[in-house]
Amino acid sequence: MSDQRLKDILPFVASVEAGSFTAAAERLHLTGSAISKSIARLEARLGSRLLERTTRRLEVTDAGHAYYQTCIRILEELAEAESVLAAHRTIPSGRLRLAVPNTYGRLAVMPLLIPFCQHHAELDLSLTFSDRFVDLFDEGIDVAVRIGQTADMPASLGWKQIGREKMVFCAAPDYLQRAGMPQSETELMQHRAIVYERVDGSTKPWLFTTADGHIQWRNVAYRMALGDVDAQVQALCAGLGVGQMPTWLVHRQIARGELQLILPHCQPPGLALTLVWPRRKQLLPKVDALLTALSALEISPPLAAPALDQ
C-alpha cells in the first residue's frame, strides 16, 4: 500500500465517523479543504462515490459503507502488527474479542476468564456467546472456542484441539425406579428419550460405540425434543425420560445424585473441543496469553465415583 493511499484512508474514515469534513479536519489537525481533496482523490481512484454531500451532513453510500468496513480492518491490522513488532511490549493489552459456545461458554470458559481478566488488568475483553458458526475475519474475533469438526480449516486460521467431550446416558433416579434400569442398548432404545432439536427442526441422534470400536449415530424415537441443552437437563432431572449428554454439562447433577448413569461402560467420545484463531494474530501478546489460559479448559470432567458404581 502506497503512502498516498494510506493518507487518503485516514481522512475518509474520520469523515465517516465524524459526520462532516469540518469535524474530520479538527480530528486530524488538517483543513477542511485538505479533507475534501483527499476524499475526491480516493473516489476518483476507486471509481465509486463513497460519500454524498448534503447541506447538513455527509451520507455514506453503500459502496462507502463497504469500503469503510475494509478500511477499519486494515487500520486494526496495522495497529496489531505494530504491537507485535514492538518487541519490548510484552504485557497483554488492548481489546480482546472472544467467541464461545453458549452453554459451554457459561459453564466452563467463564470460570477461567474471570481470573484471567483479574491478572491482565490492561486487557478489555469482548465476549460473544453463540452456538452459530462465527466467521473470525468478518466479525473481528481474535479467538474462538468451538465444539465440533475441524475439517477443511483454511490456512489463514491456526487451531489446536484440546480435548474431546465424552457422552453419557443418564436419567433421574425416580424415573429409573418407575421404568427400570436398562441393561442393554436394545432396552435403552425402548425408553422415553429426551433429545436435542436443532435449528432446522431435525433432532440430534444418539452416539453408540460398535463392537469393533467405531462410532455410530442412531436416530431414536423421542418423547420430547428441546432446542436448549439447559432445558434438556431440567427435563431429565424432573424424571421425564432418558437422554445422552456431554459430561461437561451433567457431571454436577450426577455427583449430586440428581441424575444417574445408564450403561456406564458405554461412554462414546463426542465432538472435539478446539481453539481457533487468525494466524496473523498469534504473536500478539494478548492472543498468546488467552490461548495459554484456554488450554486449561476441561471438556470431560471426571464423574463422581459413586455414580459410576450404579
Q: What is the pLDDT of residues 60-96, one digit of tens each?
A: 999 999 999 988 888 887 877 776 665 445 778 889 9
Q: Select from 254, 287, 286, 279 the least CA-distant residue to 91.
A: 286
pTM of the predicted structure, to 2 decimals: 0.65
Residue with cell 448534503: 54
- 94-163+271-294 and 165-269 agree in CATH topology: yes
Q: What is the pLDDT of residues 105-157, one digit of tens each?
A: 999 999 999 999 999 988 999 999 988 888 898 888 999 999 876 667 888 88
Q: Is it true that domain 165-269 has CATH number 3.40.190.290?
A: yes
* Fold type of domain 3-85: Arc Repressor Mutant, subunit A (1.10.10)
- Quote the distance between the C-alpha of residue 201 and its chain's center: 22
Domain spans of the chain, in order of start: 3-85, 94-163+271-294, 165-269
Interval 232-244 mean pLDDT: 96
Query: How big is the chain by its Cα radius of gyration, in Å?
Result: 26
Helix (H), strand (E), coil (C) string for 220-278: CCEEEEECCHHHHHHHHHCCCCEEEEEHHHHHHHHHCCCCEEECCCCCCEEEEEEEEEE
Residue with cell 489537525: 29
Counting DSSP H helices and E strands in the chain, the numbers are 12, 13
Q: Is it true that domain 94-163+271-294 has CATH number 3.40.190.10?
A: yes
